[in-house]
Chains A and B, each alone.
Chain A
Amino acid sequence: MIELVDLCKSFGDNHVLRGVSLEIKEGESMVVIGCSGSGKSVIMKHVIGILKPDRGKVFIQGADLWSLGEKDLNRLRQKFGMLFQYAALFDSLSVEENVGFALVQHKKKNRNDIQKRVKQCLELVGLPGVEKKRPSELSGGMKKRVGLARAIALQPEIILYDEPTTGLDPIMADAINNLIIDMREKLHVTSLSITHDMVSAYKIADRIAMLYEGKIVEVGSPDEIRNSKNPVVHQFINGMAQGPITDTI
């Protein structure tokens, strides 16, 4: 479904990705873990084609993302939904306009159908009746839910979650985790999440990949990662201040 092959990306002298290879199967929930600033979000932006790799390839459903023309790329992007770390809702629009934004832009439905779909998406994320509110009137958790509603409006086949539980209290974080699992079960989507919240990673992942120094150092099921002998993975998942990650800083 999604295949990253030897992905390299630098920003000036900062070599963020140094050959990332990763495969995500159809219907799978893959979680990429790693320290802050390790390049997890950069991977995600490559998957949806916001960033172009310096080297390497991104394949989505067998198509090389960067060999596509603009029209085909946009058509492919409509198969994606993305939930941003801070939701990235459009401030100037109401919740209803935010959720229905892609539907209006791509003229997928008429006005009544769009309203129905917006209502349906908001109900699916457990936020009925907030259509007329502005993003500034919502709490952090509500913003994430609206962001998720916007991401699923076009009925995507792949959903990307950028730090879905960051900045939320543990109860709200668990509610978001449940929503992510719901999305997979109800909508049968493939998902790629990035996080450093291990509680969330263990709960939502079919497989977990650890990113360290610009490369994927280990991939495995939650149990395999939990029992990993790799000292980098061990230090990270146990949140230890001493270990190979901090020794190299």
Chain B
Amino acid sequence: MLNFFAYIGRSTLSLCEEVGRITTLFYKTLVWTFRPPLALKNIVQQMREVGNRSMPVVTITATSTGMVFALQTYYALEQFQAEALMGQALALALTRELAPVLAGLMVAGRIGASIAAEIGTMAVTEQIDALETLAVNPVKHLIVPRVLAGLIMLPILTIYADSIGLLGGYLVGVKLLHLNPSSFIKNILDVLKIWDVTSGLIKSAVFGVIITFIGSYQGFYTRGGAEGVGRATTRSVVLSCMMILVMNFFLTKLMMY
């Protein structure tokens, strides 16, 4: 019985410690983001990393989602002779939910993991300590450029996923299911509002910060050599994906109109 209470106490303490560490690091990241000079070269390099590495997975995911969604909705709507609405359903689902969430999940697996592994390796090989001894702040040098790159690149990747998903849906609808191309496009333009796209972009910007910050946090506090790096990488992906799904609900609720 005593062991049980000891376990509860230890777990609570460890949870509080973790929350404290995350909050402190996030606060430091915020402070250093606004403290000049802005390391533009470093930020652009990280943006290139996020973009280049994520483009292939986002392309495949968005195309496949657009095409499958088009097929499924077509057959469902056909039963009510409403197949012409397929383009509208696809456009709304993609811009509001599917593109930001799926792009986020793909980037979490690709970039979140690589950030955690890279910074984690730096931590266990004392490279982060080396930065401090060279009077360079590791939060400013390592975390801020990655978080800013996530904040900027995720919305760009989401716009790309929106477009390529719609293109996939268009190809299925027009070329495979023989819908009228001009009414397909007109239906989409009629229903799609600027806010549908912007709300998706706002979500993706939040996801970008979540992915890059969690990857950086996990890497920054990595201990225990190669095993620790592996653990940090896995935790980064799992935690980012969970956070994206949970935050998606709250953001959707917040931006409901």
- A residues within 8 Å of B by Cβ? 45, 48-50, 74-75, 77-78, 80-82, 84-86, 88-91, 101-102, 105-106, 150, 154, 160
Contacts and interface: CB of A to CB of B under 8 A. Distances in A.
Nearest to B129: A50
Contacts of A78: 135
B127 A106 contact: no
Interface in B123-165: 125-127, 129-130, 132-137, 141
Looking at B130, B133, B135, B141, the one whose CB has the most chain A CB atoms below 10 A away is B133
B121 interface: yes
A80 B134 CA distance: 8
B127 A90 contact: yes
Contacts of B122: 90-91
Given A86-B125, A91-B121, A105 B134 contact: yes
B135 A77 contact: yes
Nearest to A84: B126
A85 B126 contact: yes
A152 to B, nearest CB: 12
A84 B129 contact: yes
A50 B135 contact: no
A129 B127 CA distance: 24
Contacts, number: 52
Contacts of B136: 101-102, 105
14 contacts: A45-B129, A49-B132, A74-B135, A75-B135, A82-B133, A84-B129, A86-B125, A88-B129, A90-B122, A90-B127, A91-B121, A101-B134, A102-B135, A105-B135
Nearest to A153: B134
Given A86-B125, A88-B125, A91-B121, A80 B133 contact: yes
Contacts of A101: 134, 136
Nearest to B45: A92
Interface residues of B, number: 14
A121 B137 CA distance: 24
A105 B133 CA distance: 13
A17 B23 CA distance: 29
Contact of B134 (A49, A75, A102, A160): A102
A106 to B, nearest CB: 7
B133 A90 contact: no
Nearest to A45: B129
A50 B134 contact: no
A222 B83 CA distance: 90
Given A88-B125, A91-B121, A82 B130 contact: yes
Nearest to B132: A50
A91 B132 CA distance: 16
Nearest to A107: B37
A105 B136 CA distance: 7
A92 to B, nearest CB: 8
Contacts of A74: 135, 137
B1 to A, nearest CB: 24
Given A86-B125, A88-B125, A91-B121, A77 B132 contact: yes
Contact of A84 (B130, B137, B141): B130
Contact of B133 (A50, A75, A85): A50
B127 A77 contact: no
Contacts of A88: 125-127, 129-130
A84 B122 CA distance: 13
Contacts of A80: 133
B133 A48 contact: yes
B99 to A, nearest CB: 32
A76 B195 CA distance: 52
A82 B126 CA distance: 12
Nearest to A78: B135
Interface in B88-144: 121-122, 125-127, 129-130, 132-137, 141
A88 B141 CA distance: 16
A77 B133 contact: yes
A81 B125 CA distance: 18
A78 B135 CA distance: 6
Contacts of A160: 133
A160 B134 CA distance: 12
Contact of A91 (B127, B129, B134, B135): B127
Contacts of B135: 74-75, 77-78, 102, 105-106
Contacts of B129: 45, 50, 84, 88
